[in-house]
Amino acid sequence: MLQPVRLPLASADLSLFQNAVAAYVATGSAISSSTFKPTAPLLPLRRVPDLRTHCHDPSLQGIVLGREDAVEETGSPGHPAVLRVTPLPDGRMRCISKWLQVGYLGLVFCKSVMDPRLGSYSKLNTWRPCCMFRVSVGTPQASNYLNLGKTYAIKQRSFGSAATDIPRNPAFSKLNADDISYFRTILDERNVVEDEDRLSAANVDWMRKYQGSSKLLLLPKSSQEVSKILHHCNSRKLAVVPQGGNTGLVGGSVPVHDEVIINLALMDKIVSLDKINGILVCEAGCILENLSLFLENEGFIMPLDLGAKGSCQIGGNISTNAGGLRFLRYGSLHGTILGLEVVLANGTILDMLGTLRKDNTGYDLKHLFIGSEGSLGIVTKVSVLTPPKLMSTNLAFLACKDFTSCQKLLLEAKRALGEVLSAFEFMDSHSMDLVLSHLDGVRTPLPSSLYNFYILIETTGSDETYDKTKLEAFLLRSMEEGLILDGVVAQDINQSSSFWRIREGISEASIKVGAVYKYDLSLPIDQFYGIVEEMRNRLGEVAKVIGYGHLGDGNLHLNIMTARYDSDILAQIEPYVYEWTSKHKGSISAEHGLGLMKANKIHYSKSPETVQLMVDIKKLLDPNRILNPYKVLPQSCFN
């Protein structure tokens, strides 16, 4: 029998709800009004005609935890309402009409559990919470669908349990009413955000693994506003966390404690484009995809592209020195960023916004800020060298029998495709299976059960016939030599997008399993896949281990997934992965940064003298250490 969780909800309150759910998941104890006392004001009722889950679990049952007068057509007042769920032909589940409160929080229960090893469900005797959802604001149209599997899917995963336990630095002041009043004098009132719903989204990272408790989100509209904010915070010793699209994967973009969040989303203007040289100047809050679309109309492209392009901001990309899918062709942002405007901790606006290709006047200080993860300054404007858009793009999706074939294929591709090669991406069959079983509408162009490894090769050039002939000749030769077992070349833009969707969807699919331990390693090519196999052997049945990444750049993403975060499993993974990487002269952060997750691990990849110089630079630029504290560098270096 379904055991309803009784919850006299006053209204929606996400973080309290999350904690209550986490406690429920961890201890099995019922959620009660003592563990969950929501505070947010009531919102109007909306009819939500069609709630769809993206969860394939056929035993799903929905249960809404709600205020008695907010749920009609359902059980008796004060009791949770059970939503009936019916399967749809495409495998998703549909939940029939209910009146729900906007902002409503719900918990979906199921009577089975995902087996991460098999990727299938096993039956349980008891009901367990598997997903959480929230009714979104808006007209009751398709956009009102509750994407159960996506944003708030928590499949038996406890919030915050993976976060590092770092004490709050007592040297920091606590925010007070005078601070808020001051911020209201320098920013538009609506850009000083204390609203709990908006804060709860800004306090938690994309993976829902790291969670802070900031009480204030500031949305400056200009560099001068950023300068005034930082000047005040520095003089008051208020810690801050710079935030872009909040898509970072190492816990760098969210507060650890009560840091003030400064999000650059409103600084999203394009300042200029030099149409001869392709030099773009824009504000740091521009979303990467918007910049790409703007440039493509002008005959240029952004030199970087990544799966998070629809949310990440160029300032965040620069601050993490993001790599992504075009790195192989266009290289690091250290090469393509020509200039930056940065606001220092004390509010000084540092104008380094050059637009020159060559400029050797003194130290090139912009490089200090590229990849500094918001710990040295806030990037407010950028100047980027953008390559011309080339008209002919080809994409091949290939299967290989073993990793050695993938390595040889890379070498051959570099030799044979040379100047037109623009991406060489890699994933193992476990990554492929994960995407197919967790993402809606994703299909494989090749049978997934037959092959061990998959490679995506993209070429971009200026002569369609020449480029195609070149690629086809290369593919034919590689097949004859046995490097490729099977493959397809996309015939149109829809097919290309569907191939990319598989590769780009891996991170989204991996967070649906439950807990994901993510490692982003640079490794010598001959060692590239060894750690994936070792971890699979080491962890056996308890975890699902996948390997994918930017093989062309020597960058492996090792993801280890389990149903929930668990310190025993973590102890089997770390420090083993870091030691292994260090022993093989790799890097423990190829492109995601150190953030909170790896601040204490820097010594696996950097010498003590190098770390000391970093600490000295941090002390010089940010003596009060207000900028993104607890991140990037070990706390112990400052004691």
Which residues lie near ligand MLT (CB under 6 A)?
249, 307, 506-507, 549, 557
For 602-631, b where at least 16 C-beta lie within 10 A, e where not — what string?
Answer: bebbbeeeebeebeeebeebbebbbbbbbb
Least Å from the CB of residue 448 to ligand MLT: 18
| Shortest reach from residue 129's CB to ligand MLT, in Å | 25
The distance of closest approach from Cβ of residue 477 to ligand FAD in the complex, given in angstroms and rounded to an integer, is 30
Closest contact distance (angstroms) between CB of 506 and ligand MLT is 6
User: 260-263 and 240-243: which strand pairing?
Assistant: parallel
Of ligand FAD, ligand MLT, none, which one sits near residue 252, judging by CB under 5 to 8 A according to partner kind?
ligand FAD
Specify the residue, 101 or 562, whose C-beta has the smaller distance to ligand MLT. Answer: 562
Instruction: Kindly tell me which of 191 and 507 has the beta carbon lying closer to ligand MLT.
Output: 507
Q: Residue 501's closest CA among 447, 555, 443?
A: 443
| Helices within 385-485 (DSSP H only) | 403-417, 429-438, 464-480
245 binds, among ligand MLT, ligand FAD, none (CB under 5 to 8 A by kind): ligand FAD
Check residue 245 for interaction with ligand FAD (CB under 6 A). Answer: yes
Q: Which is nearer to ligand FAD, 516 or 532 (CB)?
A: 516
Q: Which is nearer to ligand FAD, 287 or 475 (CB)?
A: 287
- From the CB of 173, what's the least distance to ligand FAD, in Å? 20
Contact yes or no for 104/113 (Cβ under 8 A): no
What minimum distance in Å lies between the beta carbon of 303 and ligand FAD?
13
The helix (H) or strand (E) run that includes residue 567 is helix 567-573
Q: Which is nearer to ligand MLT, 278 or 324 (CB)?
A: 324
592 near ligand FAD, judged by CB under 6 A: yes
What residues numbered 260-319 form the site for ligand FAD, per CB under 6 A? 264, 284, 306-308, 312-313, 315-317, 319
Distance CA 363, CA 359 (A): 10
Closer CB to ligand MLT, 7 or 304, in the complex: 304
Cα angle 186, 188, 193 (rounded to 5 degrees) comes to 100
Inter-residue contact 594 to 253 (CB < 8 Å): no
Query: Binding to ligand FAD (CB under 6 A): which residues in 372-401?
Result: 373-374, 378-379
* Least distance from ligand FAD to the Cβ atom of residue 582, Å: 21
Task: Decide: 270 and 282 in contact? Cβ < 8 Å.
Answer: yes
Residue 470 or 598: the one with the smaller Cβ distance to ligand FAD is 598
Which does residue 253 bind out of ligand FAD, ligand MLT, none, counting CB within 5 to 8 angstroms by kind? ligand FAD
> CA 316, CA 204: separation in Å to the nearest integer?
16
Find the residue with minimal CB distance to ligand MLT. Answer: 507
- Please identify, using beta-carbon distances, which residue of 108 and 312 lies nearer to ligand FAD: 312
Whole-angstrom distance, CA of residue 493 vs CA of residue 498: 9
Taking the least distance from each CB to ligand FAD, the nearer of 203 and 313 is 313
Q: How far, in Å, CA of 355 to CA of 12, rounded? A: 48
Residue type, 127: W
Identify the residue whose tokens are 């829902």.
208
Give 106 or 316: the residue with its C-beta nearer to ligand FAD. 316
* 505 binds, options ligand MLT, ligand FAD, none, Cβ within 5 to 8 A by partner type: none
> Any bridge partners for residue 442, and if so which?
none
Residue nearest to ligand FAD (CB): 316
Q: Which of 129, 149, 324, 445 binds ligand FAD (CB under 6 A)?
A: 324
Q: DSSP string spanning 492-560?
A: SHHHHHHHHHHHHTHHHHHHHHSEEEEEEEE--GGGTTHHHHHHHHHHGGG-EEEEEEEGGGTEEEEEE
Decide: is 206 part of the binding site for ligand FAD (CB under 6 A).
Answer: yes
Q: How far is the CB of 559 from ligand FAD (least distance, A)?
A: 12
Number of residues forming the site for ligand FAD (CB under 6 A): 37
Q: Do 469 and 416 meet the contact criterion of CB atoms below 8 Å apart?
A: no
Helix H or strand E segment including 90:
none
Contact 360, 376 (CB under 8 A): no
| Interface with ligand FAD (CB under 6 A) | 206, 241-249, 252-253, 264, 284, 306-308, 312-313, 315-317, 319-320, 322-324, 373-374, 378-379, 507-508, 591-592, 595, 628
